[in-house]
Structure 1
């Protein structure tokens, strides 16, 4: 997946201007003007106060302006969390530092083996990696590069991509405040494959009311994430396929069979969401094993379209209003305790 240096609203494509021969200079003039206009547009966005920026972004993606003072929808309350994140959000959103929390809460065996997390990605680091691996950045979404066969990739290619990721300020995309506290790092994990040699489906479990010990859980299953036929299906905790969609994901023509280890998947999510009123817990479950993916407190940055739209209101009733909450901050060492 490709990212750009420009600050973009979600769903807005970036504009790249490749080098052109001199004889094509005249034909590329409109492209250059477009690039200049985009840079001006992005600069103007960066000057907007955060509430104004988020209101415009919400209107663009959802079709209405949000009520940030008295939020009622799921997206409005996620925007509220972006404006006023809990103090532990950054450490548990960081894809490297969260690993310790998960190991303590769930068990080391459920954390994908870490191959390397170098301060600097060098050729020596590349040479020491196995034939297959996944390269990631810890400070944002979509910074994932799957390498099935290292012989088909060069150090220069991956280094260029890694360096590009490190220049990106994920906060600027949708002003999720806790991302500003994450120091960008590149790291490498073992590539998870099932018995058929395929990348397993991504289970994104939206967990409401985790502090009660009996959370309400909805499961978004993303299949063929890195393929040509990516699908997103939503199930309840009893594996009933729900007639709804989140974001741009299209449902599969036929619902997937109930996973053999569904109870274990739900139990893992229940354990990991126990400190929070809402969190999305991402898991992988190949061949009856369970591996942790990430914790997400502000999914879709609060501009996540639902189909039908009423789900935005229904899920909103499940999330407490952060501005009205009186619960004290929970220090990281308390959150991490097993």
Structure 2
């Protein structure tokens, strides 16, 4: 009887939470996970600042958080060799697609976190089982999970990548590099390393000089001893800076597999602003770092990628209504050129787009188009 009561109460509370506006939902989520209500008016802690990012996302984040579309950005910034080989990204996951996959692989979804299924031996898995998992993922509106608004603009897709294994036959460690710009002594980077992710996961945090911090985050246990600095650390930090350049704060994830580096994802709102840090003062320490961070765009990289960024924003907006043609016109793109909007891989932007400065699109051109805002009630993922 008591179990039935608690289950009914839980369903009622869950239904009530789904009706909350985003800011109220995030405030209660923060209270439940962190232990205090956030200061939304004058955020000081790192988590509080991430909450504000959830509510006020940069228009670029939707395409860069999309695990398929971001591949083009990575290819342009640091090169194809840092991408995990893509086996398939079908419009529909069919038996033919399953049959074409190798004996081991990883199935993922592009529109959120924790959509990962490792297939160690395909002969021991069935198409029907994976299709059920894929269908469950695709049915999730990830924006509703943590109210991170930039996930609204991502069209859910299933895709398949090569399973990365090191020489010992294990999945390589996950390097989660928090990029806080540059300081007087060089890049300000705090790297979380998740080891043995699919076994007994452990997490440790290091600064840019590879000093282990007295910090635990989330529910992860810390390792008994410090992890040695990776031999390719200079390359890791260099490619992370190249990807973060011009984006402000971002977490850049990599896998380092036998000294070969593979890109994981870009995360702009880690933990959705509800990630516990122990001790709690570290939440405020990182908040001060983020508040005082110095982000300077290197001129060469800005020039090389400004066209991609402007074109990406125009494409994102254009996908959300017929008025997108007006934005394309502002960006110097022909509205009838549908090949520019192909998904997940679009063609190169026209020369007229490359010749403009990205900041003009963001602050002048898009505003000049007077694009109407979308309603949050649309329910689109």
Q: TM-score range by the shorter chain?
A: 0.7 to 0.9
Unaligned runs of 5+ in 2: 293-305, 313-353, 355-381
Aligned residues, how many?
A: 303
- Maintained 8 Å contact 2:60/2:309: no
1:231 aligns with 2:207: no
CA distance in 2, matches of 1:130, 1:261: 29
Aligned residue number for residue 78 of structure 1: 50
| Bigger relative contact order, structure 1 or 2 (CA pairs below 8 A, ≥6 apart) | 1
CA distance in 2, matches of 1:202, 1:175: 25
Which secondary structure does the structure 2 equivalent of 1:222 belong to?
strand
Spell out, residue by residue over 1:278-330, the C-alpha distance to the aligned partner (whole angstroms, 9 max, x if none): 00000011111000000000000001111111111111112249xxxxxxxx8
Which secondary structure does the structure 2 equivalent of 1:232 belong to?
strand
CA distance in 1, matches of 2:106, 2:205: 26
Spell out, residue by residue over 1:28-74, the C-alpha distance to the aligned partner (whole angstroms, 9 max, x if none): x6555544333222210011121111111111111111111211110
Spell out, residue by residue over 1:6-46, the C-alpha distance to the aligned partner (whole angstroms, 9 max, x if none): xxxxxxxxxxxxxxxxxxxxxxx655554433322221001
1:135 aligns with 2:107: yes
1:276 aligns with 2:285: no
- Distance change in 2, residues 1:332/1:63 (3 Å): farther
Q: Measure how far apart 1:331 and its partner are.
A: 8.0
What is the TM-score of this pair, normalised by structure 1?
0.85
Choose from 79, 83, 106 the match for 1:111: 83
Q: What are the equivalent positions in structure 2 for 1:203-282 lying under 5 Å apart?
A: 203-209=175-181, 214-227=186-199, 229-282=200-253
Q: Measure how far apart 1:333 and its partner are.
A: 2.6
- Maintained 8 Å contact 1:211/1:277: no
Spell out, residue by residue over 1:192-215, the C-alpha distance to the aligned partner (whole angstroms, 9 max, x if none): 011111100000001112699953
1:317 aligns with 2:288: yes
- Maintained 8 Å contact 1:210/1:275: no
- Distance change in 2, residues 1:332/1:44 (3 Å): farther
Aligned residue number for residue 150 of structure 1: 122
Spell out, residue by residue over 1:215-273, the C-alpha distance to the aligned partner (whole angstroms, 9 max, x if none): 3101100000011x210011111111111111111111111122111111111111111
Aligned residue number for residue 197 of structure 1: 169
1:46 aligns with 2:18: yes
CA distance in 1, matches of 2:311, 2:164: 28
Q: Measure how far apart 1:334 and its partner are.
A: 4.2
Which secondary structure does the structure 2 equivalent of 1:284 belong to?
strand
Q: What are the equivalent positions in structure 2 for 1:54-93 lying under 5 Å apart?
A: 54-93=26-65
Aligned residue number for residue 172 of structure 1: 144
Unaligned runs of 5+ in 1: 1-28, 322-329
Aligned residue number for residue 98 of structure 1: 70
Moved more, 37-46 or 93-102: 37-46
Which secondary structure does the structure 2 equivalent of 1:209 belong to?
strand
CA distance in 1, matches of 2:178, 2:310: 23
- Distance change in 2, residues 1:272/1:226 (3 Å): same
CA distance in 2, matches of 1:226, 1:119: 28
CA distance in 1, matches of 2:96, 2:89: 13
CA distance in 1, matches of 2:60, 2:28: 28
CA distance in 1, matches of 2:139, 2:184: 40
Aligned residue number for residue 3 of structure 1: none
